[in-house]
Amino acid sequence: EVLLLESGGDLVQPGGSLRLSCAASGFTFNTYAMSWVRQAPGKGLEWVSGISDSGGRTYYADSVKGRFSISRDSSKNTLYLQINSLRAEDAALYYCARDRGNYGLAGFDYWGQGTLVTVSS
């Protein structure tokens, strides 16, 4: 069974940093691209960042470019999202999602349950 378990969400002050993790199990982690998708309270879905199966290619939404960094550790079957210079508009539920393909651009067939990032002073 494919499982994605996010963690690391917290209450953080504006300008702060946070690292989100997504522990994957039930599939060969290093053969699938992965992404982070977020959803602000009461709002729609927003794709944030993606990474290829090998980790060699990374992609970002314009709204987070330069502040967020995606990475993966195949030895731990874990996906990460480093979030820096947090803004109020970054407050959201962050989902980890598995791409159907190995380099991305194929849709997301499995999703975690999300980890909540709250931004407040």
Distance in angstroms (rounded) separating the CA atoms of residues 62 and 70: 14
Q: Please state the closest distance from residue 111 (CB atom) to another protein, in A.
A: 4
Size of the site for another protein (CB under 8 A): 23
Q: Which long-range contacts (CB under 8 A, 24 or more apart) does 5-10 make?
A: 5/112, 5/113, 6/94, 6/95, 6/96, 6/112, 6/113, 6/114, 6/115, 7/115, 8/115, 9/93, 9/94, 9/114, 9/115, 9/116, 9/117, 9/118, 10/117, 10/118
Q: Please state the closest distance from residue 29 (CB atom) to another protein, in A.
A: 19
Of the candidates 66, 63, 58, 3, the one whose C-alpha atom is nearest the C-alpha of residue 38 is 63
Q: Please state the closest distance from residue 18 (CB atom) to another protein, in A.
A: 20
x-or-dash pattern for another protein, window 81-110, by CB under 8 A? --------------x----x---xxxxxx-
Q: Which of residues 1-60 bind another protein (CB under 8 A)?
A: 35, 37, 44-47, 50, 59-60
Residue 121 three-state SS: coil
Using CB under 8 A as the binding rule, whether residue 73 contacts another protein is answered as no
User: Which is closer to another protein, CB of 37 or CB of 91?
Assistant: 37
Q: Please state the closest distance from residue 68 (CB atom) to another protein, in A.
A: 12
Contact set with another protein (CB under 8 A): 35, 37, 44-47, 50, 59-62, 95, 100, 104-109, 111-114
